[in-house]
Amino acid sequence: MSTLQNAAKEAAELREKIDRASKLYYIDDNPDISDYEYDMLFKRLTELEAEFPEIITADSPTQRVGGKALDKFEKVTHAVRMGSLSDVFSFEETADFLAKTADVIGRDPYFSVEPKIDGLSVSLEYRDGVLAIGSTRGDGIVGENVTENLKTIKTIPLTLPDKLPLLEVRGEVYMPRKSFAKLNAENEEAGLKTFANPRNAAAGSLRQLDSKITAKRNLDIFVFNIQRIEGKEFASHTESLDYLASQGFHVIPDRAKLSGAQNILGRIEELGKMRAKLPYDIDGVVIKADVLAERAEIGENASTPKWAAAYKFPPEQAKTKVEDIMIQVGRTGVLTPKALLSPVKIAGSTVSAATLHNIDFIREKDIRVGDTVILQKAGDIIPEIVSVCKEERTGAEVPYEMPAVCPSCGEPVSKAADEAATRCTNNASCPAQMERSIEHFASRDAMNIDGMGPAVVKLLIKEGLIAKVSDLYSLRAEDVAKLERMGKKSAENLINAIENSKTRGLDKLVYALGIRNIGEKAAKSLAVRFGDIEKLFSATKEDLTAIEDFGEIMAEDVIKFFAHPATCSFVDELISKGVTTKYESDKKGEFLSGMTFVLTGTLPTLSRADASALIESYGGKCSGSVSKKTHVVLAGAEAGSKLAKAQSFGIRIIDEEEFLKIIEEQKI
């Protein structure tokens, strides 16, 4: 036998040993070799494949580390629609669902009751026992080919013991809580964006164009359904899941086959109590008719099956104590009270603060320093105080009043009778407002100064290199390079980004100015209508309210802003630094004139801002909500209620690929 043949034989044996060890470790939680022994097997296989590249196979364990970065994801049309389930939010609604199925069958059918993993739905397609394609759910009909990224997940088998001609399964990719905490800690340390929750982190990790990044994120998966299969048949869902487990899949855990409303509701209650102790997030319980023949008898609605429902947990709540209330000053001078809380674990993370919005909110709920309160996460993301445990008061609690002066600059604050917000009156030189204003000015949707995040802004101010927005355009690379964690290359990149921002255009500049009640859309309307920032100084209320969707309050805010002497000086400084203050139309045509688009979900390569700009450049209009006047919905991955509403109205739905084809051909 030749040296190459010997190497191929040894590599095959090593792959078999590593695959077996991986299943015992990751799936069965019952390893029979030490980590060191596993590492040595893996090391030997890596050495062999490096010496003899021709023996590398697509299903080798060494190929899980991630390969070549992709330019974009290819589209995958699902042979079986990856639909969603009807949601129920109470035991009453759940009991009603169960009663309806019992009426159809003539008795209480058996259901598979499973925890609903809070992650990203994917399809795995195997041909002759080998993983061929892995894709995201997308809009349920068309998803994205993320095979290389899915291969990095150790609990996804690359080959199966049974070499069936076809097996397609559906699963939920998730990020374990420990991995999520580690990722956010690393990102925070590096000054990068942190993720709101494990689900967002999993979705972002799976859609990385570089699979090596995905490989580092320690994602996991639970498989919960067979979409298609050839060469085997099953009578029940439970039987099919048992088969998948025998093939090495990480199958949905803690599932139970139950009949009768009392048993099923009891199991939902049990899973709810287990929720906080699980190493991953669940946001509900899925109830599916177990016998496949009965599913056909129960039937389906237009977009969801009648034989299944998803019970959604109410927001998780916890008790904690208000240790103190502090004030944050925003870029428009609004003083926002924030409760500092005794740290408490809720919905998978430790919370130590919650916004109190304004003094009216505090008074309405009667929140006092020292109070015991009930906390929950709105949408399992944003901490909020739901109520005060007044029965636990001792008399030592202190009612809260807003400060009379700004905690940042010491100037007086004011509160208009018709507003909930309390504001600092020192708009021109309040340090906190200036810091937030600089952050906003540099943000992506404004002047898009790459590298100018909150931490850098704070550092530049602290070191005395900037005190106001216009100072950005006087920064020198040699001064920035001396700052902690910057260095010569980072400094040069930052200065280049600042220089590039000068030509963003009037619409981006107007938005960057941070005029109260003027968002991106309104800023674009002002730029289109007036064309030059100089003309905005003389704009009248009549001029402004003549703009579509421009109300009197917005008009008054624009007039107040441009009437302030500080604004004139500021704009003069920007002009002197070479910042473009004129609008150059990006109109490319009118073939979308009269058409209203709604964007929903995450597009593969375009940001929403980019897609909106393309639509508007050809005369189209973008709206934030779906109505019967909507002509087209541009939908991406994880599209939500807007997509469902569009489907119910019969509105045309397109994906990014079709959208770009429309733009290219200028034909819709």
pLDDT, position 269 = 94
Chain segment 69-106, per-residue pLDDT in tens:
445 788 889 999 898 888 898 999 999 999 999 999 99
pTM of the full structure: 0.53
CA 214 to CA 103: how far, in whole Å? 47
Instruction: Give pLDDT tens digits for 606-636.
Output: 877 778 888 988 888 888 778 888 999 999 8
| Angle, alpha carbons 458-462-468 (nearest 5°) | 70
Q: What is the pLDDT of residue 70?
A: 47
Q: CA 285 to CA 287: how far, in whole Å?
A: 7
From residue 142, give the alpha-carbon distance in Å to each of 80, 252, 580. 10, 24, 42
More reliable by pLDDT, 105 or 566: 105
Average confidence (pLDDT) over 346-371: 88
**Left, alpha or beta for 380 (phi > 0: left; psi -120 to 50: alpha)?**
left
pLDDT at 315 over 90: no
Residue 125: phi, psi to the nearest 5?
Answer: -110, 125
Residue, of 583 and 429, whose pLDDT is higher: 583
| Percentage with pLDDT > 90 across the chain | 49
What is the predicted pLDDT for the residue at 442? 94
Q: Give the pLDDT confidence score for residue 348 in this predicted structure.
A: 62
Residue 205's pLDDT band (cuts 50, 70, 90): confident
Q: What is the pLDDT of residue 394?
A: 95
Q: What is the mean pLDDT of residues 179-200?
A: 75
**Span 489-533, pLDDT tens digits:** 989 999 999 999 999 999 999 999 989 889 888 898 899 889 999
Select 431-501's CATH number: 1.10.150.20, 2.60.40.10, 3.50.50.60, 3.40.50.720. 1.10.150.20
Query: How high does pLDDT run on average in the chain?
Result: 88
**Rounded-to-10 torsion of CA 115, 118, 124, 129:** -40
pLDDT at 379 over 60: no
CATH code reported for the domain at 596-665: 3.40.50.10190
Distances (CA, A) of 334 to 184, 337, 406, 446, 643: 29, 10, 10, 20, 35
Catalytically active residues are 116
pLDDT for 50-68, tens place per residue?
888 888 887 788 776 544 4
End-to-end CA distance of the chain: 64
- Range among 188-197, 244-253, 276-285, 302-311 with highest mean pLDDT value: 244-253
Examine the pLDDT at 252 and tell me if it is beyond 60.
yes
Q: How is the chain split into domains, by residue range? A: 3-65, 87-312, 317-402, 431-501, 506-576, 596-665
Which residue has better confidence, 23 or 571?
Answer: 571
Fold of 3-65: Helix Hairpins (1.10.287)
Residue-level pLDDT at 298: 95
Do the domains spanning 431-501 and 506-576 agree at the CATH topology level?
yes
What's the rounded mean pLDDT across residues 435-447? Answer: 91
- The CATH class given to the 317-402 domain equals mainly beta
Least confident range from 128-132, 363-367, 639-643: namely 639-643
CATH architecture of structural domain 506-576: Orthogonal Bundle (1.10)
pLDDT of residue 665: 87
Q: Does domain 87-312 have CATH number 3.40.50.300?
A: no
Q: Compare 127 and 485 and report the one with higher pLDDT.
A: 127
Say how many residues make up the chain: 668
Tell me the backbone φ, ψ of residue 555, rounded to 5 degrees.
-60, -45
Mean pLDDT, rounded, for 337-353: 87
- The whole-number average pLDDT for the span 8-16 is 87
Contacts by 517-522 with C-beta closer than 8 Å and gap 24+?
517/553, 517/554, 517/557, 518/554, 518/557, 518/558, 520/445, 520/609, 521/549, 521/622, 522/549, 522/550, 522/554
Most confident of 198-202, 291-295, 435-439: 291-295
